[in-house]
Amino acid sequence: MTYRLTNRQNCPPNGFIVRIKGLVPKVERVYWSFYEAVSFYQKFSLANPQLGLPTEWADCETVVDEQNARRVARIPGAASYVVQVDSLPNNFAQVSTAPSVKKCCGMR
């Protein structure tokens, strides 16, 4: 089952977490902005081409979105943050993240 975030502008519980597995030590960062999370992932991918990670912005957005949607889908009571891809209507559109960043989760 594949999940996606319902809205990339609204911060999910515990923020947007970027995990890059398979490395020792593992790389994990928490961001309160989807744009910043994707930016970190893209910069990390470009700096480490030997890992074969996606480097295009849209692909990086998809990776960060899917990582966080899978994580949030397991949190009780957080269902409003995710949607199953199989159940998306044809006219469902993700909110664009470039480059306007909305503060969320109590940021000032």
pLDDT digits (tens, 9 = 90+) for 39-88: 999 999 999 999 999 999 999 999 999 999 999 999 998 888 999 887 55
How far is residue 45's CA from residue 84's CA, in Å, rounded to a whole number?
27
Instruction: Quote the number of domains for the chain.
Output: 1
Q: Is residue 96 part of a domain?
A: no
Q: Is the pTM of this model over 0.85?
A: no
Q: CA torsion 23→45→79→90, rounded to 10°? A: -140
Q: Per-residue pLDDT tens for 10-37? A: 999 999 999 998 888 889 999 999 999 9
Q: Domain span at residue 11?
A: 3-87
Q: Is residue 36 part of a domain?
A: yes
Q: Is residue 98 part of a domain?
A: no
Q: Is residue 8 part of a domain?
A: yes
Q: Is residue 92 part of a domain?
A: no
Report the relative pairing of strands 27-31 and 82-84 from DSSP bridges.
unpaired
Amino acid at 92: F
Give the number of other CB atoms < 10 A from CB of residue 93. Answer: 7
Q: At what angle do helices 34-47 and 57-73 cross, to 10 degrees?
A: 120
Q: Is residue 13 part of a domain?
A: yes
How far is residue 61's CA from residue 100's CA, in Å, rounded to a whole number?
15
How far is residue 100's CA from residue 44's CA, in Å, rounded to a whole number?
21
